[in-house]
Amino acid sequence: MKFIQGQNRNQITLFPISLESSIDEYSEVRLIDLFVDSLHMGDMGFKVDFVEDGRPAYNPKDLLKLYIYGYLNRTRSSRELEKETKRNIEVIWLLKGLSPDHNTISNFRRDNPKSIKKVFRATVQIAKNFNLIGGKLIAGDGTKFRAQNSKKNNYNKKKIDRHLAYIDNKLKQYDDQLSEADNDKQKLIKEEIEKHKNRREGYEQLQNKLDKTGAKQISITDPDSRHMITRGVITEVAYNAQSTVDAKHNLPIDYEVTNTTDINAMSTMVENAIEIVGNKKFDALFDKGYYNAEQINTCHKLGIETYVAIPAPGSTSPNKAYNLSEFKYNKEADTFTCPNGQTLRTNGKWYQKKTSRVKQYKTSHCKICNVKAQCTSSKSQRLIEKHEFYEALVKNRKALEKHPEKYKQRQAIVEHPFGTMKRQWGFDHIMTKKTIERASADVGLIFTVYSLRRIFNILGFSLLQEFLRMLVFFINTIFNAVKLKKLNFTPLYISANFTMQKKIIV
């Protein structure tokens, strides 16, 4: 039986194939090349000025191209990227035959977290140029990326106390055994005692560090990572990546890597979104993890309508008919009316809670009320506490009740990127370790390539290639001839104002 035969590896060709002709005309690697060439690396914060002495440095554009190509093709390891520079024809074309070692590749990502975020912002500007950002509805959420730190190497006070108690118990057992053991066994027991004393010293150092810093937990391998709930009752040592996504094409417009919960993140995300989309006319969707009265109030002051899911009440009345939501507030009189028609009044004083102030409302009628047992389990009377930002919570609740269909879009908008990144691409963990800044660089590259992938798919190859070619030409011919610093002009945002001659409608 005949088979299709390959070329003879030893055959000398009369007309050798060039590196350029080896790459398909519509290969995605050509868009990566143009995209990075359209960026002004110096203004983005990448180091472009090096001393003339010694071995020349690699151009940051080449290293950025390598990373974008790698992340787009599910390769994040610096060692794997080094291999690709020697065996992958597209990477060889992209880097023009350069092959930096894995340390150089790794250090580039480690040293440029802020610059990588600006690269992500450049993708947002391209999306805005083609009207891919609607700026009418945004959704925010956080997702956990596992850190390079095991749960075993994460400690809090309770865990340290448990280890210390275990060691103390073992030391007591060894002391009891020592008096009865012979010489050979005494030597082994003394070694174990010394080993446990050293462990105890290590745990005491961790305890002292927690006491000095006031932190609730400490991680050994990646000190900025924290033990968090990732899903239901499942926990991991992780980072929390906050993201804001525009609804029109599910394109992320911002991200921030944190090691805290969602509760205090919303107002900052909304403020950044206002600056990025350039208006205050959008609505903001967030889940119940962001339900914070002060944060919601801040967003309302900014002019943004919020749709933040309301968590289930922490405590309810014995009869649901007497839950707090059933008490009617009279703003003019500053009173509450209970379902039984009684008026609860305040003395006007503000009482400081952990993070906010409240007013308290009550009525003496509770003592003789015939439905008291259904209203409260308190022996004295029902006490209502009104948050100082109560009206912001009411406004948010009314918005949810008026437009329930709007909030239902949240999951489809903001979890679309997370699902692609973590489930489809397998980017569910942080590649780097030691500091939140390094984690931010890794997450920044993930968000950058996600945005590029969406833009590639929406616009198509030819249109985007034409735009990037014009942008590169514009930069090379104009920006090289102008002293940018004197004009105080930032090329990073050129794609936001540079419009192709023909009108683009997507």
CB 278, CB 255: distance < 8 Å:
no
Higher confidence at residue 286 or residue 474?
286
Q: How many residues does the chain have?
A: 506
Residue among 39, 15, 116 at smallest CA distance from 432: 116
The C-alpha atoms of residue 283 and residue 304 are separated, in whole angstroms, by 6
pLDDT tens-digit readout, 61-98: 999 999 999 999 999 999 999 999 999 999 999 999 99
Token digits of residue 110: 């480690």
Average pLDDT over residues 12-31: 86
CB 56, CB 20: distance < 8 Å:
no
pLDDT tens-digit readout, 260-300: 989 899 999 999 999 999 999 999 999 999 999 999 999 99
Confidence of residue 500 (pLDDT cuts 50, 70, 90): very low
**Structural domain boundaries in the chain:** 19-111+460-497, 137-147+225-312+402-424, 151-219, 320-389
281-285 long-range contacts (CB < 8 A, ≥24 apart) are 281/135, 281/136, 282/135, 282/136, 282/137, 282/138, 283/136, 283/137, 283/138, 283/307, 283/406, 284/138, 284/139, 284/140, 285/137, 285/138, 285/139, 285/140, 285/406, 285/407, 285/409, 285/410, 285/413, 285/414
Query: Positive or negative CA dihedral for 19, 23, 25, 31?
Result: negative
Instruction: Name which CATH class applies to 137-147+225-312+402-424.
Output: alpha beta
User: What is the model's pTM?
Assistant: 0.87
- The Cα-based distances of 492 to 119, 254, 479, 495 in angstroms read 8, 16, 12, 8
Residue among 138, 157, 107 at smallest CA distance from 255: 138
Residue among 135, 95, 113, 124 at smallest CA distance from 44: 113
- Say whether pLDDT at 250 is over 70: yes
- Say whether pLDDT at 415 is over 50: yes
Most confident of 202-206, 330-334, 449-453: 449-453
Indicate the DSSP class of residue 321: G
Q: What are phi and psi of 250, to 5 degrees?
A: 55, 40
The C-alpha atoms of residue 117 and residue 256 are separated, in whole angstroms, by 9
- Say whether pLDDT at 128 is over 60: yes
